[in-house]
Amino acid sequence: MTARTPRTILLTGVSGQVGFELRRSLQGLGRIVAADRTALDLADPASIRECVRSLRPDVIVNPAAYTAVDQAESDVTTARAINAQAPAVFAEEAKRLGALLVHYSTDYVFDGAKTQPYCEGDATNPQNVYGATKLEGEQAIAASGASHLIFRTSWVYGQRGRNFLLSILKLAHERSEVRIVADQIGAPTWSATIAALTASILAQGSGSKAGLAEWARENGGIYHIASSGETSWAGFAEAIFAEARLANPPQVIPIPSRDYPTLARRPSNSRLDVSKLAREFGLTPPDWREALALSLASK
């Protein structure tokens, strides 16, 4: 009996929060080829095509993105190249190969005006360049005809990179009080949660006799991956201090968004409805507070 050739998975953004976790979670699902910025320039379509065509992966997993939300307002060209044009090229190449493209998007494709958590089919209306370019990436993938899974995430944090968790822990050693926005609501989502759920979904597809890419044609599309529950940024900061068991934590002073002006407008409601994950895959993300405790314990 001839041994089956291992599935090849091209993973981008391995130095980022989600990419780092995916590199560990995807073990066992195939041969992972991790591409960092030195091996793959996401702002250069030719670099992307060369990488994909030389590797000929069965699955392309793309968590890499231009995530400097405020900087994107003045660096539209780069943001669009990485968040919109790169996913479009990946989708074209995935279709040509008959491969599956797994891509990550954001709650910022919504305007935040809805009073309930956003479902996958709700109307999009991004309020900043970051959200607009991420939406363009989603739309390009959907229009390509490639087999795909798009996972929208929210308020991502982890033990590496630049994120709210690490920033607030740093401030805890520098200040006696911190002023944090309290009128933006969402669900802080640990990068390891995103990676674990992704691996679980791909593991289900791997069992399909038709093959993973063909399975995704029936089960693919857009899904929301975020922690269960909700809080504000101020509530998140208070929970971080409590879970970190700091001896003398700073006092959290809740403030409105207008008192913390930023170049990019943020949605007041970033809650994502994750019930589709349960319906389609039997997966329920953990409560944000439980995930936070696990993330701090794993440091």
Q: Which two tokens stand for residue 146?
A: 């490639």
- Listed in sequence order, the DSSP H helices in 207-287 are 212-219, 233-243, 275-281
Give the closest residue to 52 by CA, choosing from 1, 85, 5, 96: 96
Closest CA to 103 of 94, 113, 111, 112: 94
The amino acid that residue 181 corresponds to is V
Cβ–Cβ under 8 Å, residues 108 and 128: yes
How far apart, in Å, are the Cα atoms of 196 and each of 168, 181, 285?
Answer: 25, 29, 10
| Stretch (H or E) spanning 189 | strand 189-190
* CA-closest candidate to residue 144, choices 201, 85, 104, 202: 85
Q: Is 108 a catalytic residue?
A: no
Q: Which helix (H) or strand (E) holds 139?
A: helix 129-144
Q: Which of 104, 108, 130, 157 is catalytic?
A: 130
Cβ–Cβ < 8 Å for 48, 90 = yes
CA neighbor of 224 nearest in space, from 143, 127, 116, 130: 116
DSSP 290: H
CA dihedral 290, 295, 298, 299 (to 10 degrees): -150
The kind and range of the H/E element at 159 are none
Instruction: Please state, in angstroms and rounded to a whole number, the distance separating the CA atoms of residues 75 and 70.
Output: 9
Name the residues annotated as catalytic: 130
